[in-house]
């Protein structure tokens, strides 16, 4: 699946990292470079490199922050918005192919289990002991 995703993104002129930036901007609409670094869990320098590439290819633009002269706000261009819309559409189509015949009650159970496993993974990543549930 990863190789297929990389081929699909390459068709749009994107890498996984650049697509992740677009996805986050599509969710938040506008973020500063510092906020993006926090969300992506990368260094500000890494975000600068990603934004430079996305700006050069027309997916994002840098704008002045309305209240902080030192900060730069990153926004999607029309091309970036279209890319995010395509990614959402393709994810919805894939979800339909993967889960279209699964009964809703099973999907509910599956989501609940995934949420529990995700919460445990986050606890482990923080170095906290896992919560014991009955």
Domain ranges of the chain: 2-100, 102-134
Question: In this predicted model, what pLDDT tens digit does every residue of 12-30 receive, in sequence order?
Answer: 788 889 999 999 999 987 7
User: Average pLDDT of 88-108?
Assistant: 86
pTM of the model: 0.75
Tokens of 127: 């170095």
Tokens of 128: 């906290």
Q: Enumerate the H helices of the chain as residue ranges.
A: 2-11, 16-28, 33-40, 44-56, 78-99, 104-125
Average the pLDDT over each of 96-100, 103-107, 124-128 and give the range with the smallest value: 124-128
Using 50, 70 and 90 to split pLDDT, how confident is the model at 129?
A: low
What is 2-100's CATH topology?
Arc Repressor Mutant, subunit A (1.10.10)
User: Average pLDDT of 99-103?
Assistant: 87
Q: 24-45: string of b/e by CB count within 10 Å (b at 16+)?
A: bbbeeeebbbebbbebbebeee
């Amino acid at each position: 699946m990863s190789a297929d995703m990389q081929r699909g993104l390459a068709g749009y002129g994107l890498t996984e990292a650049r697509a992740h930036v677009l996805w986050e901007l599509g969710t938040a609409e506008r973020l500063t470079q510092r906020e993006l670094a926090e969300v992506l869990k990368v260094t500000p320098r890494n975000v600068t490199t990603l934004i430079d590439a996305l700006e050069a290819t027309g997916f994002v633009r840098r704008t002045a922050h309305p209240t902080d002269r030192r900060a730069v706000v990153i926004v999607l261009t029309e091309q970036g918005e279209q890319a995010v819309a395509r990614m959402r559409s393709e994810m919805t189509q894939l979800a339909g192919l993967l889960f279209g015949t699964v009964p809703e009650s099973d999907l509910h159970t599956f989501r609940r289990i995934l949420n529990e496993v995700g919460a445990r993974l986050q606890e482990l990543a923080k170095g906290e002991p896992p919560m014991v549930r009955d």
